[in-house]
Structure 1
């Protein structure tokens, strides 16, 4: 008779029910992606101001973004090991903490090397966070995987939508007679990384449930043709997605003479399309299949980007509409990995995201190099104005080309899986 009271007392002392644990896990994932979106996409309005203040050309801006991607890549290379050694909770807390620290260092930076180093640290934190959140999501989203992955990444899109507007709005304000600049914005935004640390500390994260001996060997993974097709598909998709945040504002300001607020507003419209595409297209990816979704949506994004370039300034809204197509690519690949590799998804995610990081480094550098190279070539024959426009158009055409290549590499993936009866 005294068993029930003991259990009741224990329940009152330890109220961590499975539902409460799951809610804390969801809060960590959702708020984590929210902060991730802020940290990634305040750079749109900030880069033209950084460029002006420090006297940087497009090549050095491209190099800065490539160094950021290098920090992201470095984080991808060791995060899986950290997860195995110290757990996802500690990795998430470490990544949030490094983002807070990088905000302080960016605020204090007064030179290009100091700024590059600070951004490098921020992207190390971002890389750790992305791997940690992807692994956590793969472990907890067992049902309706495509829908839940897109929902989680919806929060990234949500913060990405408002980040440019908040950043550009803050940089028009003054406090005590002192204008708020891009350094202040980075400090304020990155301090928000403290917020997701609260549910992360209070929550309990699931382990992989497998020992080191049972873990999917890297050699076996690398021998799977599917993994390489996913690497190519995701790499081109992410280059196209991430480049918009770094280059759209710059393009609109310099090619069409838009002011900073209007250009940041168009970037926000891009992320608005991006955000709601993830919210509403998730169930569609579950219904028509992950692989077919990759082909359709990435091709749509590429075609809209080229249409925007061809239409000129009146077609600028098509740059924003391209967000509809590129939005589902990353979460859909993550859902495909979670379904195909199951308990080995940790290894697969790390492998794919690491190689994706290599592509991102190259992609960001190439965009800057293409803009500078075409600009110099055309300037020599037609003048500086036409040279700059041609360079920016060529750089943005490369972004659209990457979206089309994403679709192209998803086609053999679809054929291969369909022939083997493994289509997802």
Structure 2
């Protein structure tokens, strides 16, 4: 029964995580309109969110060792629910930014917490089980844009629309559901929590492969997360699509994303984690690049790109669990914290690229060129992930510890 509770927390946590991350696709254009935000301001808002995520990643590992992974997870769920209330009450851009920041504090705590839980629970067939757990993130991410777009059109009994405020309030309230099995479960203890010596940060700082893992994960996650924030915006502004149609394409992206995590998990165990990430990230980047170059008729390739980028994060988590079995928590905290720095920069860059290229281009096609350049950066991140992984593959092979 305890294992059932643990699986409910991990799988349910990833479901909630997917909803909180990816309902923003259809909400962002409405938020931008309500607060009269430019693309640079929008990029800074998303960058601030990543900063909240980064702050959470920097302390969650230590917090879990101090108060336990159980209380850490419960606190993350409660913070996410509280941020939904604050978003509903947000009256200006600053209040909204603070509310988003709090949500990403909760998201960061949850991601580190779930990664630690999964590393302790999934000791066999790690690649498959990590991808299966993240499949639930893909599942909720698939339906989140459609549900979010639909929910914003719902009406209160008094006649007013829910809008993005009511939608966020409801969706983030779902974060309280995994608290129930969290209260009932008994969590396995890790080496560091049990007082044994793990991998010191100073050793990770001197480990070339550790930094290559950070680079691979950073490029991959920037590409993955940027789609949720920018694809709907791109399709609406570049091609004049409706919110519902653009949200449907984002859902199709996450459908491919979800199925890839379900189907490709065993492949990563069979052919190796490093080679898997290199192949899948390269495929994703090429699909996104082709979609931009070929124009609206090839927009479906944006969705297919989700199948390539999906296995990157869970496969890297499996690689960390296998490479650092006596210090997984420290390795995860080090890697995800460093990745968070890159995500802050990446989100800000996309907004600046869109506005900067549009300003330089001028003329009637300026906005389209800006949007294409911004999304081209997302494709470039996936390709950089693949290239960096190729170099890491060679380094690990020379060291004789290829995974």
From 394, 401, 404, the equivalent of 2:373 is 394
Q: CA deviation at 1:175?
A: 2.4
1:208 aligns with 2:190: yes
Q: 2:129 & 2:196 partners in 1: Cα distance?
A: 30
Residues of 1 paired with 2:300 and 2:20: CA distance? 24
**Partner residue of 1:158 out of 129, 136, 139:** 139
What CA distance in whole angstroms lies between the structure 2 residues aligned with 1:212 and 1:406? 35
Q: Distance in 2 between matches of 1:258 and 1:318?
A: 16
Contact 2:39 2:354 in 1 (8 A): yes
- Report the equivalent of 1:55: 36
Question: Where does residue 126 of structure 2 map in the other structure?
Answer: 145
Query: C-alpha separation between the residues in 2 aligned to 1:100 and 1:173?
Result: 20
1:173-322 maps to which residues of 2 (within 5 A)?
A: 173-176=154-157, 177-210=159-192, 211-212=194-195, 214-322=197-305
Q: Give the one of 157, 160, 172 matched to 2:153.
A: 172
2:325, 2:171 → 1: CA distance? 35
Query: What's 1:347 paired with?
Result: 330
Contact 2:191 2:198 (8 Å CA) reproduced: no
**Residues 44-98 of structure 1 deviation map (CA, whole Å, 9 limit, x = unaligned):** 0000000011100000000000000000000001101101100100000000000
Superposed CA deviations along residues 79-129 of structure 1, whole A, max 9, x for unmatched, are 011011001000000000000100000000010000000000000000000
Measure how far apart 1:212 and its partner are.
4.4
Instruction: Give me the TM-score of the superposition, normalised by structure 2.
Output: 0.98
Residues in 1 aligned to 2:62 and 2:278: alpha-carbon distance in whole angstroms: 33
Offset at residue 293 of structure 1 (A): 0.3
**In the alignment, structure 1 residue 411 sits paired with structure 2 residue 394:** no
Runs of 4+ with >2 A deviation:
209-213
What is the rounded CA distance, in whole Å, between the counterparts of 1:213 and 1:24 in structure 2? 26
Flag structure 1 segments of 5+ consecutive residues without an equivalent. 1-19
Q: Distance in 2 between matches of 1:170 and 1:244?
A: 21
Match of 1:366 among 333, 340, 349: 349
Stretch deviating more after TM superposition (172-181 or 313-322): 172-181
Match of 1:266, SS state, is helix
CA RMSD of aligned residues (A): 0.8
CA contact (8 A) 2:39 2:352 kept: yes
Structure 1: how far apart are the matches of 2:96 and 2:379?
29
1:227-266 superposed Cα distances (whole Å, 9 cap, x missing partner): 0000000000000000000000000000000000000000
Alpha-carbon distance in 2 for matches of 1:343, 1:183: 44
Q: How many residues are paired up?
A: 401
User: Does 1:70 find its partner at 2:36?
Assistant: no
The answer to whether the aligner puts 1:115 opposite 2:96 as a matched pair is yes
CA deviation digits over 1:155-198, x for unaligned, max 9?
00000000000000111222221111000000000000011111
Contact 2:191-2:197 within 8 A present in 1 as well: no
1:361-406 residue CA offsets vs partner (Å, 9 max, x unmatched)? 0000000000000111112xx23xx111000000000000000000
Partners of 1:102 and 1:352 in 2: how far apart?
26
Match of 1:326 in 2: 309
Asked whether 1:99 is paired with 2:80, we answer yes
Residue aligning to 1:129:
110
TM-score by length of 1: 0.94
Residue by residue over 1:14-47, the C-alpha shift from the partner in whole angstroms, topping out at 9 and shown as x without a partner, is: xxxxxx1111111100000000000000100000
SS of the equivalent of 2:402 reads coil
Q: Secondary structure of 2:188's partner?
A: coil
